[in-house]
């Protein structure tokens, strides 16, 4: 096998693994269960925001920037530092990393080993994380070569068997707003934010493999195609399996119980163990990527005063403490934070990819701050934004951001002909 093809496969698997965390495993089947015979619409929406936007975030950073901080600096150096720091804290030790540990405990460890306490597991989990993360140069290869293929085999087996031997009949659930609901469900996976963190790791890995900087973007695109295919297959397959359960439940259902029901229906009693392994691998690969990216970031902004190894250990300790809160509490904490971070991140991603046309830096800056203002306003109960199109669907920031950015593009003076200068 030629070297570039081999590297594309390894990096593509790494991208897949980094994006595919436990939340990604839980959301699609539950959404399929709710949508019923509208599951195809759900697949389209979830793949758009759960795959498309995250990969665009990586391409936006690698297109003409080395890091997300450089991309955000066009808005202002202080903005870039503050937003990047909040982003790394939120997607790292505050939310995403602890959630992977809590998910592994509740879905993998507790059902199989009920005598192991949450604290004991959290410590073991992050010791395993540190084993991979502290071997900094081998993080990407370790994930891509070993963990991802095993994860894919387990999930592919469950999906294919469920397709060949359906769990039940897909029925009409009379679900409305299928597309907007599926878009929001993918929006809440945090993968677009994670992509901003992973981009520099992927770029550095490509360069370390001997490729010049001018080839980083093309290699990233080629690797992304593989990741897109893998993610779309898994999301679509899990959603299809979820749609097969519409006639199996009448009362209230949790995402976790549905996932366990599907695995048990397809694989019998052994299904709990199999899905537990899948969840464990999905969580581990994601947390390894996040932990490594976070450790690199804080080393960089501290000019080396906070070393990579020190940062990795501190983030792990904080994650142990927060992880013990459990999935439900962590998810409840994440809602308001993500509703502010996501609109700003998406605006930065889109304006960077369209910088050839949106070449007025003043317009871009005002557009980013517009997305920030409206995302904050939408969280204040006493403020009614229902008059704004798409506000009731959770996108109150979208139309104002587009309108303001386009107007400012033409009426404001330009500081530069290119926003990157």
Residues 66-103 have pLDDT tens digits of: 678 788 888 988 998 898 888 888 878 888 899 889 88
Confidence of residue 204 (pLDDT cuts 50, 70, 90): confident
Confidence of residue 237 (pLDDT cuts 50, 70, 90): very high
* Across 313-337, average pLDDT: 87
Convert the pLDDT of each residue in 37-70 to its tens digit.
999 999 999 998 888 888 888 888 888 666 787 8
If you classify domain 1-339 with CATH, what class do you get? mainly alpha
Q: For residue 354, is pLDDT > 60?
A: yes
Phi-psi region of 36 (alpha: psi -120 to 50; beta: other; left: phi over 0): left
Region of poorest pLDDT, from 92-101, 116-125, 137-146: 137-146
Confidence of residue 223 (pLDDT cuts 50, 70, 90): confident
Residue 409's pLDDT is 92
Q: For residue 190, is pLDDT > 90?
A: no
**Taking the model in full, what pTM does it have?**
0.82
Residue 232's pLDDT is 87
Confidence of residue 150 (pLDDT cuts 50, 70, 90): confident
Give the closest residue to 199 by CA, choosing from 290, 267, 271.
Answer: 290
Q: Which residue has the higher pLDDT, 356 or 320?
A: 320
Q: For residue 155, is pLDDT > 60?
A: yes
> Domain extents for the chain?
1-339, 356-420
Q: For residue 420, is pLDDT > 50?
A: no
Q: Which residues of 136-164 are buried (b: 16+ CB within 10 A; e: fewer)?
A: beebbbbbbeebbeebbebbeebbeebee
Region of poorest pLDDT, from 7-21, 123-137, 344-358: 7-21
Q: For residue 330, is pLDDT > 90?
A: no
Average pLDDT of every residue of the chain? 84
Residue 415's pLDDT is 65
Region of poorest pLDDT, from 13-17, 80-84, 308-312, 382-386: 13-17
């Amino acid at each position: 096998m030629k070297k570039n093809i081999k590297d594309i496969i390894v990096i593509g698997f790494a991208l897949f693994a980094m994006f595919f965390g436990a939340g990604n495993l839980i959301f699609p089947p539950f959404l399929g269960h709710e949508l019923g015979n509208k599951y195809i619409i759900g697949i389209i929406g979830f793949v758009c925001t759960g795959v498309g936007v995250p990969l665009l975030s990586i391409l936006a950073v690698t297109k003409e920037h080395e890091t997300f901080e450089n991309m955000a600096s066009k808005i202002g150096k202080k903005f870039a530092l503050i937003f990047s720091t909040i982003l790394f804290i939120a997607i790292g030790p505050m939310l995403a990393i602890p959630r992977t540990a809590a998910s592994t405990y509740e879905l993998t460890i507790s059902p199989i080993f009920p005598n192991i306490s949450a604290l004991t597991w959290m410590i073991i989990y992050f010791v395993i994380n540190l084993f991979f993360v502290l071997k900094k140069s081998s993080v990407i290869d370790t994930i891509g070569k070993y963990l991802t293929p095993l994860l894919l085999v387990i999930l592919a087996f469950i999906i294919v068997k469920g397709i060949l031997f359906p769990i039940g009949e897909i029925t009409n659930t009379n679900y409305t707003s299928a597309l907007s609901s599926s878009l929001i469900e993918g929006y809440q996976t945090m993968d677009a934010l994670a992509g901003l963190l992973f981009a520099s790791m992927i770029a550095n890995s490509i360069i370390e493999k001997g490729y010049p900087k001018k080839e980083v973007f093309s290699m990233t695109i080629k690797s992304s195609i593989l990741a897109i295919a893998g993610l779309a297959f898994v999301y679509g397959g899990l959603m299809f399996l979820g749609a097969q359960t519409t006639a199996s439940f009448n009362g209230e259902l949790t995402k976790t119980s549905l996932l366990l029901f599907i695995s048990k229906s397809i694989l019998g009693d052994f299904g709990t163990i199999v899905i537990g392994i899948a969840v464990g691998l999905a969580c581990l690969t994601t947390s390894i990527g996040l932990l490594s990216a976070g450790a690199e970031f804080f080393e960089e902004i501290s000019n080396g005063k906070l070393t990579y190894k020190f940062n990795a250990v501190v983030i792990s300790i904080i994650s142990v403490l927060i992880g013990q809160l459990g999935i439900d509490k962590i998810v409840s904490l994440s809602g308001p934070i993500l509703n502010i971070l996501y609109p700003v991140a998406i605006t930065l991603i889109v304006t960077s990819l369209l910088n050839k046309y949106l070449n007025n830096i003043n317009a871009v800056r005002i557009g980013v701050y517009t997305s920030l203002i409206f995302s904050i306003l939408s969280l204040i109960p006493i403020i009614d934004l229902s008059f704004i199109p798409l506000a009731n669907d959770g996108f109150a920031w979208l139309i104002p951001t587009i309108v303001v950015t386009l107007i400012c593009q033409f009426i404001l003076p330009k500081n530069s002909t290119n926003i990157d200068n």
